[in-house]
Structure formats: C-alpha cells, structure tokens
Chains A and B, each alone.
Chain A
Amino acid sequence: MAEPWEDEVEGPVKKFMFVNRKAPYGTIYALESLEVVLITAAFDQDVSLVFSDDGVYQIKKGQVTDGIGMKNFSPTYRALEGYDVEKLYVDKESLDERGLTEDDLLVDVEVLSRAELGKLMDEQDTIMSF
C-alpha cells in the first residue's frame, strides 16, 4: 500500500513570477533566485521568470568564472526547460541600454516591452523579487 505522502495530491496551481534585476556574482541575489525557481518548479507550479535592468546580465553568454573562484551557474538557466520552466521574459529597454541583443543571451527568451511585462505581472498570484 502506498504511504500517504506518496499519494499524488493535486493541489492548486498558482502563477509565480520571479523578477530578476541584479547582475550575477556581485551579489548573491541571482543564485538565490535560481534556487527558489527550481524549488517552485518541483511543486509543479506555473513559473515565469523576468530578467530586467542588470538582471539581463544573468543570462549573458560566455561567462567564465575561473578567475574569480566562483561557480559559473549560468548553464543552469539552460536546464530550466527540463523542469518545465519555459516562460522566460526579457525587458527590451534593459537590453538596449546595455548594448545587448537577444543573440547575446544563452537561453531562448521572449523579449517584451515594459508595458507588456507590467501586464504579465498583473496576472500573477505571487511575485518574488530578486
């Protein structure tokens, strides 16, 4: 007989949005966000990620961290798809300000205007800001 905790209980699915606004490595925010994203995905929730302001640097291609003695966690963003986290949104203005384009990013994303991102934010049940 299955133990009670092994039963698949269909709980409510909520819409979680993670708003990433900090560059990686300089602070711990980017890595911490990624940890919570993975936890949330493990609970089969509707997860979306926003990268805006310096957060766009988190998914910049070609990060080589050997010289600073920190783990390069950027490959993890490519693994998110495997956890059914496929809603990745990037703020266009933030890319433009930093001279970046979609080609500079290591994952497939949807580039949106601030107005469009604001609308998506409005549709969420929970928003976590990093």
Chain B
Amino acid sequence: MTMLHTVNKSPFERNTLTSCISMAQSGSAVLLIEDGIFASLKGTSVSDKVSKAMGSISFYVLGPDLNARGMTEDQLIDGIKVVDYEGFVDLTAEHDNVQAWL
C-alpha cells in the first residue's frame, strides 16, 4: 500500500504536519497544499523537521499555492518537487489511498 498524505495547515500554527510525518510510512508521499506550503521553505524553524523526514518520505508542494503566498521554487528545501493541479491528480491516481490531514 502506498499512501498520499495532503497537509493544508501552516506548520507554525497547527501540529498537523508533525502528526502526518510521525505516522507516514516509509515510501509514502506528502503533498503540501494551501497554508501547508510554508513547511516547504528553506531557512525556517521547521525546515529541519521536513529535511529529516525526506529520508523516507517524498515531499511535493502545490505550485499555485506557493506562488499565491509570494514564494518561488528557489526558496524550497532541496528535493521537494513542485506540482500543478494536474500533478496533484496524477499523485492521487498513482497512490492506493489518500489521507487528507485537516
């Protein structure tokens, strides 16, 4: 079973990302959307937590949500991939299940 996790809350305001990371199995994927995108950025107080989790989980971020919040690809933690809405659909289709952390 492979699972896609989506996280839509800011890591500075909620513990959603922490819960997600602690339960996500090796080989699963996390897609950061809406205010969740703030976890994808370099040089923040949560960057290390994400970098460490990337050893066993692949991370994606939704580009339109990134750009809306004034952020660009060059500000991302190395190894996080940007997807558009079509990429979101592809990720959903590629995984057996989706867990939307709210």
Contacts and interface: CB of A to CB of B under 8 A. Distances in A.
Interface of A: 22-27, 53-54, 57, 60-68, 70, 72, 74, 97-99, 104
B68 interface: yes
Contact of B35 (A23, A61, A97): A23
| In the complex, the 5 A-B pairs of residues with the closest C-beta atoms, listed nearest first | A67-B64, A99-B43, A26-B35, A60-B70, A62-B70
Interface string B62-86: 0111011111100000000000100
A98 B38 contact: yes
Interface in B30-70: 34-35, 38, 41-45, 47, 63-65, 67-70
Contacts of B64: 66-68
B8 interface: yes
A92 B18 CA distance: 25
B101 interface: no
Contacts of A74: 70
Given A23-B35, A54-B38, A98-B38, A62 B72 contact: yes
B12 to A, nearest CB: 6
B60 to A, nearest CB: 15
A54 B13 contact: yes
Nearest to B12: A54
B10 interface: yes
A53 B71 CA distance: 17
Given A97-B45, A98-B12, A98-B44, A63 B69 contact: yes
Contact of B12 (A60, A61, A97): A97
Contact of B68 (A22, A25, A61, A99): A25
